[in-house]
Amino acid sequence: MIYDIGIIGLGVMGTNIAKNMSRNGFKVVSFDFFEDVRSNRDDELASEGIDIADSLKSFVDGLKSPRNILMLVKAGDVTDQTIEKVSPLLSPGDTLIDGGNEGYENTSRRNKALTAIDINFIGMGVSGGEEGALNGPSLMPGGQKQAYENVRPLLEKIAAKADDGKPCVTYIGEDGSGHYVKMIHNGIEYADMELIAESYYFMKHALKMSNDEMSAVFSEWNQGELNSYLIEITADILKFKDETGNYVLDTIKDKAGQKGTGKWTGIEGLKLGIPSSIITESVFVRYLSSLSEERARISETYDSEMGSLPENKSEILEDLKKALYISKLMSYSQGFRLLKEASDTYGWHLNLGDIAMIWRKGCIIRAQFLEDINHAFKSDTELSHLILDDYFKEVVSKNHIGLRKIASRAIDKEIPMPAFLSAISYFDNMKQRRGSSSMIQAQRDYFGAHTYERTDKSGVFHTEWY
Ligand code: 6PG
The CA 127 to ligand 1 mean position distance, Å, reads 8
Could you tell me if the CB of 363 is within 6 A of ligand 1?
yes
Could you tell me if the CB of 75 is within 6 A of ligand 1?
no
> In this predicted model, what pLDDT tens digit does every residue of 416-438 receive, in sequence order?
999 999 999 999 999 999 999 99
Could you tell me if the CB of 137 is within 6 A of ligand 1?
no
- Are residues 326 and 400 in contact, defined by beta-carbon separation less than 8 angstroms? yes
Identify the CA nearest to 335 among candidates 272, 380, 275.
Answer: 275
3-class state of residue 11 by DSSP: coil
- Are residues 7 and 28 in contact, defined by beta-carbon separation less than 8 angstroms? yes
User: Is position 57 annotated as part of the catalytic site?
Assistant: no
Residue 182 CA: which ligand 1 atom is closest? Answer: 7
The CA distance from 179 to 185, in Å, is 10
97: enclosing H helix or E strand: strand 95-98
pTM listed for this prediction: 0.96
* DSSP string for 240-293: -B-TTS-BSGGGS-S-----SHHHHHHHHHHHHT---HHHHHHHHHHHHHH-HH
3-class state of residue 127 by DSSP: strand
> In this predicted model, what pLDDT tens digit does every residue of 223-267 receive, in sequence order?
999 999 999 999 999 999 999 999 999 999 999 999 999 999 999
> In this predicted model, what pLDDT tens digit does every residue of 133-188 receive, in sequence order?
999 999 999 999 999 999 999 999 999 999 999 999 999 999 999 999 999 999 99
What is the rounded average pLDDT of the residues 324-329? Answer: 98
- Are residues 265 and 276 in contact, defined by beta-carbon separation less than 8 angstroms? yes
Residue minimizing CA distance to atom 1 of ligand 1: 127
Does residue 401 surpass a pLDDT of 90? yes
Does residue 309 surpass a pLDDT of 80? no
What is the rounded average pLDDT of the residues 446-463? Answer: 98
Could you tell me if the CB of 119 is within 6 A of ligand 1?
no
User: Is position 182 annotated as part of the catalytic site?
Assistant: yes
Helix-helix angle 277-290:418-430, to 10 degrees: 160
> In this predicted model, what pLDDT tens digit does every residue of 35-69 receive, in sequence order?
999 999 999 999 999 999 999 999 999 999 999 99
Does residue 311 surpass a pLDDT of 90? no
- Confidence at residue 158, expressed as pLDDT on a 0 to 100 scale: 98
427: enclosing H helix or E strand: helix 418-430
The CA distance from 30 to 70, in Å, is 9
Residue minimizing CA distance to atom 7 of ligand 1: 127
Residue 363 CA: which ligand 1 atom is closest? Answer: 7
Does residue 306 surpass a pLDDT of 90? no
The mean pLDDT of the chain is: 97
Cα separations (Å) of 315 from 222, 312, 414? 18, 5, 20
- Give 3-state DSSP helix, strand, coil % of the chain, rounded to 5: 60, 10, 35
Phi, psi dihedrals of residue 185, rounded to the nearest 5°: -55, -45
Cis before residue 153, ω within 30 degrees of 0?
Answer: no
The CA distance from 415 to 202, in Å, is 7
The CA 59 to ligand 1 mean position distance, Å, reads 29
- Are residues 59 and 51 in contact, defined by beta-carbon separation less than 8 angstroms? no
Does residue 1 surpass a pLDDT of 70? no
> In this predicted model, what pLDDT tens digit does every residue of 32-41 receive, in sequence order?
999 999 999 9
